[in-house]
Amino acid sequence: MAIRGKKYKEATKLVDRESAYQPGEAVELAKKAAFAGFDETVELHLRMGVDPRSADQQVRGIALLPNGLGKKVRILVFVQGEAARAAEEAGADYVGSDDLVKKIEDGWLDFDVSIATPDMMGKVGKLGKILGRKGLMPNPKSGTVVAAEDLARAITEARKGRVEFRLDRTAIIHVPIGKSSFDEAKLLENLTALVEAVMKAKPSGAKGQYIKSAFLTTTMGPGIRLDLRPLIS
């Protein structure tokens, strides 16, 4: 059993484990319960009422958080030809083709999001084992394989606070919504945008209660049970 420190124990005293808090109350409480000596990430954890083993019950999508995640997002774009200039002008941090593929094969992974044009996927595909396990592989379903004319939009979205969510094998979704230093209004806006995106991603095979429970927490803080009804009713 993990041994909890004094600061964590003090933070848990702020939270009533038997209560489900309204979104605004939960955000306020999460900020108060953040005690670490760094700017903790605020996270949403959703237990879903779907079967992750069923193909027609997969939950996956993208949310655009209006206030971002509070960190600089390093964007890599696999592209060739004239489209490379468009990617550079749109603000991509790393732009290239075979050179980037070789660099990644050699162990370099200093980026947060990778985007590719369809014509590059033949080359990028061989990086699947490397990028896949890091969640960095471009994928049409996550909006990171885009036509050359859509590169600027994809890069802008990634820069502003584009987050991908997906169901894990235990039927839970884990997603960051910002930093504990954000003011409450910004965290609440991000939370609302994320919940709306998850609701829109409801699969055709989902039956019964779609979201079984929701918790808000910070990197080091205690879990705070959320009442999501104000956001989904």
Domain spans of the chain, in order of start: 6-69+162-232, 75-160
* Mean pLDDT to the nearest integer, 153-176: 90
pLDDT of residue 2: 56
Task: For domain 75-160, give its CATH number from 1.10.510.10, 3.40.50.790, 1.10.1740.10, 3.40.50.11540.
Answer: 3.40.50.790
> With DSSP H G I counted as helix, E B as strand and the rest as coil, what are the percentages for the chain, rounded to 5?
40, 20, 40
- For the segment 71-105, what is each residue's pLDDT rounded down to a tens digit? 888 999 999 999 999 999 999 999 999 999 999 99
CB 61 within 8 A of CB 164: yes
Residue 171: is its pLDDT beyond 90?
yes
Take residue 36 and report the two structure tokens written for it: 């670490």
Residue 106: is its pLDDT beyond 90?
yes
> Strand 60-64 relative to strand 75-78: parallel, antiparallel, unpaired?
unpaired
Sheet holding 75-78, edge to edge: 94-96, 75-78, 113-116
pLDDT of residue 1: 46
Q: For residue 143, what pLDDT band results from cuts at 50, 70 and 90? A: confident
User: CA angle 105-106-110, nearest 5°?
Assistant: 90
Q: Return the SS3 of 93.
A: coil
pLDDT of residue 45: 97
Closest CA to 11 of 224, 232, 222: 222
Cα separation, 226 vs 43, in Å, equals: 12
pLDDT of residue 53: 93
* Mean pLDDT to the nearest integer, 147-170: 90
CA 34, 162, 25, 226 dihedral sign is negative
* Mean pLDDT to the nearest integer, 117-142: 92
* Mean pLDDT to the nearest integer, 182-203: 95
Average pLDDT of the chain is 92
Phi-psi sector, 161: left (phi>0), alpha (psi -120 to 50), beta:
left
CB 87 within 8 A of CB 95: yes
> What's the CATH code, domain 6-69+162-232?
3.30.190.20
Q: Return the SS3 of 172.
A: strand
- CA 164 from centre of chain: 4
Percent of the residues in the chain that have a pLDDT greater than 70, as a whole number: 98
